[in-house]
Every structure is written in C-alpha cells, then in structure tokens.
Amino acid sequence: MARGATTMEVRDDGVAVITISNPPVNALSFDVIASLQRNYEEALRRNDVKAIVLTGAKGRFSGGFDINGFGNKPSKNKVVH
C-alpha cells in the first residue's frame, strides 16, 4: 500500500511548488521520498522552472519519518544457559 506522495505545480513565475501529502502530519516515507525524487528531477529538467519550493499539504511541513516503513522490529536473540 502506498504511503503518501508529492505533487508538483509550476507557477507562471517559474516557481515549482512540490507539496508533501501524507496525512495526518505529512510524514516522510519511502513512497514520499520516491515521489519527491521524481518531482524534483522533473523540475530540474524543465526550462521554465527557476526555483523549487518544498512544502507540506494543509499548512504542515513534514513531521518526520514514518518508522512503520522499516518493517517489523527485529527480535532479540535470546541466550540460553
């Protein structure tokens, strides 16, 4: 299941606004980072982009990384004596 994404809008003034959207706190995830990379690379390729702004949806910048993306917590090896 995808966890968040980014969108990009290029304004008439040449500013590419990339918005993180991963409710409720726009946490970074592997999906968000992949989407961000695609938007960033597209912005760099475009001749009409003069600046890039990174923001968060609904007025919230990223609240950190979603640790659920790292999978299950590794189990500790038990030593039996």
28-37 confidence digits (pLDDT tens): 999 999 999 9
Phi first, then psi: give them for residue 21, nearest 5 degrees.
-130, 100
Mean pLDDT of 9-29: 96
The CA distance from 4 to 36, in Å, is 10
* Tens digits of residue pLDDT in 28-73: 999 999 999 999 999 999 999 999 999 999 999 998 998 887 775 4
For residue 68, give every residue at least 6 positions away whose Cβ sits within 8 Å of its Cβ, in sequence order, or none. Answer: 3, 29
Omega of the bond leading into 23 within 30 degrees of 0 (cis): no
**Domain ranges within the chain, ordered by starting residue:** 5-66
pLDDT score of 76 = 52
Q: Give domain 5-66's CATH number out of 3.40.250.10, 3.30.300.220, 3.40.50.300, 3.40.50.2020.
A: 3.30.300.220
Chain position carrying tokens 């003069």: 50
Residue 10 has pLDDT above 50, yes or no: yes
Contact 39, 5 (CB under 8 A): no
